[in-house]
Structure 1
Amino acid sequence: MDIQIWSDVACPWCFIGKRRFEKALAQFPERDQVNVTWRSFQLDPTLPEHSDRDEIDYLVETKGMPRAAVEQMIGQVKVQAAGEGLDYDFDSLIVANSRRAHRVLQAAKKADAVDGGDRADALKEALLSAHFEKGGDIGDADQLVALGIAAGLDEQTARAALDSTELDEAIEADIREAAAIGVRGVPFFVIDNKYGVSGAQPPELFLQALNTALAEQKPSLITLDGAGEACGPDGC
């Protein structure tokens, strides 16, 4: 079963959605047959590589929301994250453009395609945790290379990915495909190219979608009863 997930490293709901999807997948009987592909999406491609603003100032300025409303919103997100075992630290969060992080993720995907590895998933987890829990800078070259190496990339590949125009093309292809299928926000999950699940839904909804897709892969037999004779265990 094929699962495509559009997501941004700078999206708090994407980390929560990842956890909830993983909970559903753990309950799915065919989980060993599921192939997950992370796809790129940028909520704010106009951000500089680094910003001096904190998260609240950034959201107040870009969303035009009152500071009190932003603080309340962040508090609610933090509670939802805690419910999934995530310890969001918005006070330490560094506002940065996620483009370089996506390039390294694309490099991890390319490496996985060669040997069937799981570098992309490991790197996605590490990037989200660094950004939302550990005060990491997802625009910093050295930090990105270190995370890439920890996820299984060699240093040369990780460093070459940072400013790769070839990987930029892969990012843009993901973004164009998202637009073509109507994705307007992330996370967005596409199951077997048929079912779209928008947002960090409860695990139960993800599991329902997975089971529905599985049932359609293995349709039940329709028996047409007629007057034909047959033999059974009790005779003919």
Structure 2
Amino acid sequence: MDSLSSVSTPPPAPTVRLLGDIACPWSYLTLISLHRAFGQELRLEWHPFVLELRDLVRQRTRLLEAVNRYARQLEAPFAAAALLAPIDSRRVHATLLAAAPDQVAAVAAALFEARFAQASALSDRHAIETALAAKFGAVYATTLLAGSTARLEMVDRADRAARIAGVAEIPVSVLDDAYVIAGLQPPEAFLGLAELAAVARGLKERK
């Protein structure tokens, strides 16, 4: 079995702040890798980073080969047409910011699935609401979209803060607000960092 899909019993799951974009295939695969590592114990916080979509289109041929390879290793569905599907990244980010803390991972997964498994357009409020309603029902989807326009400023602030901090590429995963791991990584890498975080917590508790 490939090392990307073979993991041991996970250590206590840390809180993971994911700097990413639903438009980004590497962010999609990173969330899948995190789920492989921590399962339902994953505690995800979402930090918006607004990707330049023209870069995705320009690099599409090169991206397709690499993304397909890693998607196969993670046994993750990937539709090649997804890279060209229209998306309003800022509004998708704003919708994710409305999710309750224990629902962030599930909402992100649903949006990633709509984009990369189904190549669905997430280009306006109706399209985003339709994708979420398919997973959570119309009432919850409408609730998430309510006030999304007001949250666009929060998205812009978060994106700007990440860039000022030196983030130029995504995804970036921050475990327990202390351990940073950049780019797509196999589940084992997240498990190893989670083990390090658990040891560090234990050492602090002994002091």
Q: TM-score, normalised by structure 2?
A: 0.79
Higher share of residues assigned helix? 2
Q: Contact 2:17–2:47 (CA<8 Å) still a contact in 1? A: yes
Q: Would the aligned equivalents of 1:78 and 1:87 in 2 still touch at CA under 8 Å?
A: no
Q: Structure 1's 158 and 80: CA in aligned 2 closer, same or farther, altered over 3 A?
A: same
Q: Secondary structure of 1:37's partner? A: strand
Structure 1 residue 161, shift from structure 2 partner: 3.7
Q: Does 1:81 align with 2:67?
A: no
For the pair 1:5 / 2:18, whether they are aligned, the reply is: yes
Q: Aligned partners of 1:43, 1:130: CA distance in 2, in Å?
A: 18
Distance 1:129 1:192 in 2: 26
Query: Once the two structures are superposed, what CA deviation does each residue of 1:87-114 show, in whole Å capped at 9, x if it has no partner?
Result: 2112364133312211211122xxx15x
- 1:39 is aligned to 47
User: How far apart, in 1, do the equivalents of 2:141 and 2:87 lie?
Assistant: 22
Per the TM alignment, residue 156 of structure 1 is displaced from its structure 2 partner at its CA by 4.2
Which of 1, 6, 24 lines up with 2:37 in the alignment? 24
Larger radius of gyration: 1
Is the 8 Å Cα contact of residues 6 and 41 (structure 1) preserved in structure 2? yes
- Is contact 1:104–1:148 with CA below 8 Å preserved after alignment? no
> What is the root-mean-square deviation of aligned Cα atoms in Å?
2.7
- Give 2:49's aligned amino acid: F
Partner of 1:67: none
Question: What whole-Å deviation, never above 9, does each CA across 1:55-102 have from its counterpart, x for those lacking one?
Answer: 9xx623xx5xxxxxx424312211211221222112364133312211
Where does residue 52 of structure 1 map in the other structure? none
Cα distance change, pair 192–90 in 1 and its aligned pair in 2 (3 A):
same
Q: Deviations over 1:189-209 (max 9, x none)?
A: 111221111011121111111
The structural deviation recorded for 1:155 is 5.0
Q: In the alignment, is the contact (CA less than 8 A) between 2:43 and 2:105 conserved in 1?
A: no
Using the TM superposition, give the Cα deviation of residue 127 of structure 1 relative to its aligned residue in structure 2, in angstroms: 1.2
Q: Distance in 2 between matches of 1:145 and 1:220?
A: 44
> CA offset at residue 221 of structure 1?
9.2
Question: Which residue of 1 is the match for residue 5 of structure 2?
Answer: none
Shift of 1:220: 8.1
Gaps of 5+ in 2: 1-13
Distance 1:220 1:154 in 2: 40
Gaps of 5+ in 1: 48-54, 64-69, 223-236
Aligned pairs (5 A) from 1:67-106: 70-91=60-81, 93-106=84-97
CA distance in 2, matches of 1:209, 1:135: 32
